[in-house]
Amino acid sequence: MPHLLSTIRNQIPLTAYAYRGEEECCNLCGSRDRLTVSRTDRRLKTLKTVACEQCGLIRTDPMPTDAELDAYYAGEYRLDYQFAFSRKPPRFHLTRSQREAEGRLALLAPALEGRRRVLDFGSGSGEFLALAAGAGHDVQGIEPGQSFASFAREKYGVPVESRVWQEVAFEAGRFDVITANHVLEHLREPVSALRRMAEWLAEDGILHVSVPNALGRRRHSFQHFHFAHVYNFTPQSLLWAGLVAGLEPDPRFAQQGTTLVFRKRKAGAAVPVWAEGEGSRVAAHFEPSSPLRFLLSCRWIVDALRRFRKVAGDSWARA
Ligand SMILES: [Zn+2]
């Protein structure tokens, strides 16, 4: 019953989420100095988001605890975020996931010659694993969401560890290719997760990371933020996160915004030096805008209809 009450409360605009959280320092540089960039999220609910003054990494403040995030994922996350009313992934999600997996496999082709050992960190419903297995690679997934992990195992016959990454123990150097697609922004310790992935990577392996770009174009600054995204990256802070985790960009792949392909950092290569004023530059991107004015403008109805049309289109695609 407490879950149901918090689920209902979390659907009401202009109110706060049912969470207390805790004060955290920046997971990238350790600084506690921060600038507020937004007090609202894309559901028009109260949610304070800050940018680290030193490195510009954006985070929710206060940070939800593991227990609070678990409660959110167990309750309204699938409904709120993915329109999923049953435990099976909805059709529009599978269409999008398939499309994304095809693009990811094509992007990583230079590192996928021969039979490679591939890990998908946050493998979701398993479309990338299925494609990579079909191309002859040895695949492994990690997916903490039980229903999506079961779906991947049953539909595609791919191996998926259904646990949080801290509980997974692979030996060092186990994988040639690791991908983490739209995962880091959900983690309370994204840099520690990158460090762990770097350990699992073979000496000549690659690590592909893609996250939403917090500096991407949105009509209102609050439309970037979501309760499940506890960290938000810029191209610069994602690059620094990789460097801190012992990685460097692989020169075969150009950085595309917040999509980066790393390799293990060679001895003596540059380590990050924070650019002075980075936090202020990031914060300046988020101009204050009024969620109440947005609500009264009825513009949100147009946005909701557009979103519904996309969902409907992807639901009926490839029927
Ligand atoms: Zn920082």
Domains in the chain (CATH in brackets) are 2-316 (3.40.50.150)
pLDDT in tens, 176-201: 999 999 999 999 999 999 999 999 99
Mean pLDDT on 68-90: 69
Does the pLDDT at position 174 exceed 60?
Answer: yes
Binned at pLDDT 50, 70 and 90, residue 166 comes out as very high
**Cβ count within 10 A of residue 79:** 13
How much of the chain, in percent, has pLDDT values that exceed 70? 89
Does the pLDDT at position 82 exceed 70?
Answer: no
**What is the pLDDT at residue 217?**
75
**What is the pLDDT at residue 173?**
97
Binned at pLDDT 50, 70 and 90, residue 269 comes out as low
**What is the pLDDT at residue 253?**
96
Tokens representing 20 are 């207390």
Binned at pLDDT 50, 70 and 90, residue 70 comes out as confident
3-class secondary-structure state, position 179: strand
Q: How close is the Cα of 31 to the center of ligand 1, in Å?
A: 5
Q: How close is the Cα of 260 to the center of ligand 1, in Å?
A: 19
Does the pLDDT at position 309 exceed 60?
Answer: yes
**What is the pLDDT at residue 86?**
62
Q: Characterise 122 by phi-psi region: left (phi > 0), alpha (psi -120 to 50), beta (else).
A: left
Q: How close is the Cα of 41 to the center of ligand 1, in Å?
A: 21
Q: Where are the alpha helices (DSSP H) in 245-290?
A: 278-284
Output 53 or 301, whichever has higher pLDDT. 53
pTM: 0.88
Q: How close is the Cα of 95 to the center of ligand 1, in Å?
A: 36
Q: How close is the Cα of 97 to the center of ligand 1, in Å?
A: 32
Residue pair 133/156 in contact by the 8 Å Cβ criterion: yes
Nearest to 4 by CA among 74, 78, 66, 87: 74
Report angle CA 278, 62, 66 to the nearest 5 degrees. Answer: 115
Report angle CA 5, 185, 123 to the nearest 5 degrees. Answer: 90
How much of the chain, in percent, has pLDDT values that exceed 90? 62
- Rg of the chain, C-alpha, whole Å: 20
**Dist. CA 300–CA 306, nearest whole Å:** 10
Q: How close is the Cα of 61 to the center of ligand 1, in Å?
A: 13
